[in-house]
């Protein structure tokens, strides 16, 4: 734990000094922050989450590590059933490390951000290696940060809550609470602001009970200091919250304006045999849905995000144009295919085969829209039935290129493969 004298050195500008000068009795505000928060947490916090370890003297770091990785970018209610299934199938880190990737992927399917699942599986193997060498889980912040998928905040959470040692977290919840409490106007996506927030989090975290403090901060951010409509009346920090004083709670945290998202159009090929078995491809580890199974996708086009500064004339064209076509100020990009999709496309070309639209009714031919962080994806299901000879040919072509493939009907695919949500939508 850095001493307070060191803290000012951590801040690039006079950040903490600014905060301290803001209060006439700054040490009272800063020093009473944790006691007020912990009192609130004892009375009103959640103490029944299945991964919480603060009521035991022998915390299980595996449970905290697993839950923290799941809780990255994901809300508690979404994580709960996934966590239960993981613990049932992989009760120890050794079980997880020994599992096959496809089994891990199937357990994770639907949670999103699949790199987390790949890192989790890799991390389990790394942890078993550490345990075999030292007899125990890593015991230091650096030891945990060396595990794949564990960054500074997750490592701090594991130190504090999984080992009952000293640890600091500074996740999205903490950042929202702190930017409001101290009215920090810097863009939280900038590294200077990140540094400032980490320094403040460290200054506020009590040396004793850092685990309870971390839980309390996360609970505060999730239940009181919410993004919209924060419950300031119930907040133990209300009396010296600068954002509240100014009535500007929802102005924080400050983030740079989002860039317009491009749109991508693809066909999702349902390549079937006469028994209704569908061709599935395992996607490469990098890129979208890495390591998961997907239908072959056929790139159609990609259109740049809509500009914010459109002229009235351009807006009119846009309204008139209901068929998702390129408009004048939009750019068309290069096609994007995986190796497997290239092989399939070349094979279809060679045999002059074209997939047909699958719509139950004439009106039901709209593409499925799937929005991601950085683009909108419009997926149009297209069907193609192949004979036995063609099935053999395409299977051999893909296997020759070391592509992992599967022929499974819709029900079996959902039950046994890790399918991303968009694929489930298409099957439905």
Partner DNA sequence: GTCCAGGCTT
Partner DNA sequence: AAGCCTGGAC
- The residues that touch DNA, with contacts defined as CB under 7 A, are 72-75, 77-78, 110-115, 119, 148-155, 171-173, 175-176, 189-190, 221, 227-229, 253, 255, 258, 287-290, 369-374, 420-422
Determine the Cα–Cα distance for residues 384 and 276; give it in Å rounded to an integer. 11
**Closer CB to DNA, 121 or 176, in the complex:** 176
**Closer CB to DNA, 227 or 351, in the complex:** 227
Q: Which residues of 191-229 are buried (b: 16+ CB within 10 A; e: fewer)?
A: eebbbbbbbbbbbbbeeebbbbbbbbbbbbbbbbbeeee
Tell me the C-alpha to C-alpha distance, in Å, between residue 231 and each of 110, 185, 227, 281.
31, 21, 10, 47
Catalytic option among 43, 68, 106, 208: 68
Shortest Å distance, C-beta 407 to DNA: 22
Shortest Å distance, C-beta 269 to DNA: 18
Shortest Å distance, C-beta 62 to DNA: 16
Shortest Å distance, C-beta 147 to DNA: 7
**Closer CB to DNA, 46 or 255, in the complex:** 255
| Distant-in-sequence, close-in-space partners of 242: CB < 8 Å, separation ≥ 6 | 22, 180, 181, 182, 183
**Closer CB to DNA, 253 or 381, in the complex:** 253
Shortest Å distance, C-beta 354 to DNA: 27
Q: Is 68 a catalytic residue?
A: yes
Shortest Å distance, C-beta 22 to DNA: 23
User: Known catalytic residues?
Assistant: 68
């Amino acid at each position: 734990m850095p001493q307070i004298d060191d803290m000012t050195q951590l801040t690039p500008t006079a950040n903490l000094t600014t905060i301290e000068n803001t209060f006439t009795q700054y040490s009272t505000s800063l020093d009473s922050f944790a006691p007020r928060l912990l009192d609130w947490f004892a009375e009103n916090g959640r103490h029944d989450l299945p991964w919480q370890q603060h009521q035991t003297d022998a915390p299980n770091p595996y449970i905290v590590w697993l839950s923290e990785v799941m809780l990255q970018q994901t809300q508690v209610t979404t994580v709960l059933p996934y966590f239960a299934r993981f613990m049932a199938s992989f009760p120890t880190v050794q079980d997880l490390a020994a599992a096959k990737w496809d089994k891990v992927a199937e357990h994770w399917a639907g949670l999103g951000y699949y790199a987390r699942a790949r890192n989790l599986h890799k991390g389990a193997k790394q942890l078993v290696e550490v345990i075999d060498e030292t007899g125990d889980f890593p015991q230091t912040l650096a030891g945990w940060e060396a595990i794949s998928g564990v960054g500074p905040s997750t490592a701090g959470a594991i130190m504090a809550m999984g080992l009952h040692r000293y640890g600091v977290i500074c996740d999205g919840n903490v950042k929202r609470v702190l930017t409001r409490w101290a009215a920090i106007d810097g863009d939280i996506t900038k590294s200077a602001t990140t540094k400032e927030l980490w320094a403040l989090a460290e200054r506020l975290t009590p040396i004793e009970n850092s685990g309870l403090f971390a839980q309390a901060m996360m609970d505060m951010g999730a239940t009181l200091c919410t993004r919209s409509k924060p419950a300031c009346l119930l907040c133990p920090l209300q009396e010296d919250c600068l954002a509240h004083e100014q009535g500007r709670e929802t102005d924080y945290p400050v983030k740079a304006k989002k860039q317009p998202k491009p749109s991508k159009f693809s066909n999702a090929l349902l390549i079937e045999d006469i028994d209704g078995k569908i061709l599935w491809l395992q996607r490469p580890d990098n890129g979208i849905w890495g390591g998961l199974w997907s239908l072959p996708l056929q790139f159609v086009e990609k259109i740049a995000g809509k500009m914010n500064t459109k002229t009235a004339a351009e807006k009119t064209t846009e309204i008139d144009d209901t068929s998702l076509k390129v408009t004048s100020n939009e750019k068309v990009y290069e096609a994007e295919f995986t190796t497997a999709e290239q092989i399939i496309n070349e094979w279809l070309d060679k045999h002059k085969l074209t997939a047909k639209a699958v719509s139950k009714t004439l009106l039901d031919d709209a593409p499925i829209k799937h929005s991601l962080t950085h683009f909108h994806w419009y997926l149009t299901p297209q069907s193609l039935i192949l004979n036995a000879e063609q099935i053999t040919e395409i299977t051999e072509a893909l296997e020759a290129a070391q592509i992992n493939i599967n022929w499974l009907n819709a029900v079996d695919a959902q039950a046994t493969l890790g399918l991303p949500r968009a694929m489930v939508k298409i099957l439905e």
